[in-house]
Amino acid sequence: MAAASEDCPSGAEEGGRLAEESKAEGNGLFKDHHFAQAVEAYSRAIDLSPDNAIYYANRAAAHIRLENYGSALEDATKAMEIDPKYIKAYYRRGDANFALGKFKEALKDLKKAAEVAPRDPALRKKLLECSKEVKRIRFEEALAVEHDQEPPRSETLDLDTMTVEESYKGPRMDCSKDGKYMITVEFVKDMMEEFKEQRLVHKRFAFEIILMAQKIFKSKENVVHVDVPQDSHITVCGDVHGQYYDLLNIFDINGLPSEENPYLFNGDFVDRGSFSVEVILALLAFKCLYPNHFHLTRGNHESRAMNKMYGFDGEVKHKYNGTMAEIFRETFCWMPLAFVLGGKVLVLHGGLFTQDGVTLEDINKLDRNREPPDDGIMCEILWSDPHPLPGRRASQRGVGVAFGPDVTKAFLDNNKLDLVVRSHEVKEEGYEIAHDGRLITIFSAPNYCDSMGNKAAFVKFNGSDMVPHFTQFSAVPHPSVRPMAYANSFLSGLGG
């Protein structure tokens, strides 16, 4: 057999050339923010050349942008095994661990990278930020033990000490005959206009809204059943993530909430977008106005850990104060975990479960007044994602579980339901129908983080048949405040 000539490259050479082409395609897709397609391109490169650390590290970066932190950890670890001196592999695994709140593990990865590249300025900055976070967590843990027996801040806050100064020119709540403040439609509309002009309402009114809403949440079960009469409807929206001007656009398209125009917003109201305070105060105010016709489901970002990292905690402290940040946290812990609409449609933020046979009653038995646990039913409600193949597998996020169409069918049949509506994932078209039509993902933050280029959507159900009707919409302009403006600075370049 004749040897391969220079004009006829060997199979290995051809495979290497094609792998590099796939990597270059992936890099272009990544640059254009098409991260899911970038993962596919890097995967083709890995299939052709499975011992190249760069391909795994690049795919890890794309997974991080998609918030698939579990998959990013796997890819970064594989890259480190192939080339223990490849510094970007340590970066990626450190980034993924940090995003998952595993700060000590992230610090180990970054210190290991520093052994390889001790003078790298970006690495030194990451090390400093991660070290600060580990120290902060240790301090807060010690403080939590010290104050473990103290009552919730929302029970000790004295609103009467908060005088609304005459110099305050913004919207004012009306007072009832007994001197208590009331939330009216006029006040909420005026407040939303104030927010639109990048002005805040007085802290007294903000606290009134939060505490009124908290009281309503406390009266609800974990699973709330909502009747949808034959001649009525309800609109379900997914993640909004602090994109206030896109929230206003939803109301422009579909009408303001009212008893005749009910809504359910399915978690992740805050973080990432830098108008999260405005979003959550508007949503809580509508909850107070229409307690039986405006509904809010808790998402995985309605939690202390996520708010500390992804911006809401910093934004509240910047715009108001730390006391309000803590009372928001306490209020989030009282939000319901799921809704059943018209006896047929289950709405929850994340997804289903690692174990068979979970019932609505099992969900109702949970103690939801807490920070989300690392595993179990409550964790999975907030974090799980669907998967196209049957069965269950490890979640790409590193939290929750990936569940297949057979799991969805069994759960729905067992609980005598027709459909699951969940959110939690960016979809290029704003929504996705999966699992033989029995599962819908709805996402309502267009051009997520000003970078994803996705459309958004909401879904409307008519009481006569409870069939989903989708409306898509695109992003609208907003003031020049970048996403993640109040987030942990470690995360500002995450995945870059």
Question: What gap in Å lies between CA 167 and CA 366, rounded to an integer?
Answer: 47
> What's the distance, CA 153 to chain centroid?
25
pLDDT in tens, 16-49: 899 999 999 999 999 988 899 999 999 999 999 9
User: Residue 459 corresponds to which amino acid?
Assistant: V
pLDDT in tens, 299-313: 999 999 999 999 999
Question: What gap in Å lies between CA 69 and CA 87, rounded to an integer?
Answer: 18
pTM score of the predicted model: 0.91
349 a catalytic residue: no
| 491: DSSP letter | G
pLDDT in tens, 351-408: 999 999 999 999 999 999 999 999 999 999 999 999 999 999 999 999 999 999 999 9
Residues 326-333, mean pLDDT to the nearest whole number: 98
Of the pLDDT bands very low, low, confident and very high (cuts 50, 70, 90), residue 314 is very high
Question: What gap in Å lies between CA 253 and CA 235, rounded to an integer?
Answer: 12
Within 13 Å and on the Cβ side, how many CA atoms surround 113? 29
Q: Are 228 and 341 in contact (CB under 8 A)?
A: yes
Q: How many residues appear in the chain?
A: 496
Give the active site residue among 202, 241, 295, 301. Answer: 301
Look at residue 117 in the predicted model and tell me its pLDDT. 80
Q: How many CB atoms lie within 10 A of CB 327?
A: 22
pLDDT at residue 8 tops 60 = no
The ranges assigned to domains in the chain are 11-145, 159-493
Buried b (16+ CB within 10 A) or exposed e, 105-124: bbbbbbebbbeebeeeeebe
Cα–Cα nearest to 282, from 308, 249, 307, 304: 249
Q: How many CB atoms lie within 10 A of CB 317?
A: 14
Question: What gap in Å lies between CA 352 and CA 468, rounded to an integer?
Answer: 20
Strand partners for 341: 226, 345
Task: Decide which of 3.20.20.30, 1.25.40.10, 3.40.605.10, 3.30.1200.10 is the CATH code for 11-145.
Answer: 1.25.40.10
pLDDT in tens, 204-235: 999 999 999 999 999 999 999 999 999 999 99
Q: Provide the 3-class DSSP secondary structure of residue 403.
A: strand
Q: Are 220 and 336 in contact (CB under 8 A)?
A: yes
pLDDT at residue 200 tops 70 = yes
Look at residue 11 in the predicted model and tell me its pLDDT. 63
CATH number of 159-493: 3.60.21.10
Question: What gap in Å lies between CA 335 and CA 154, rounded to an integer?
Answer: 15
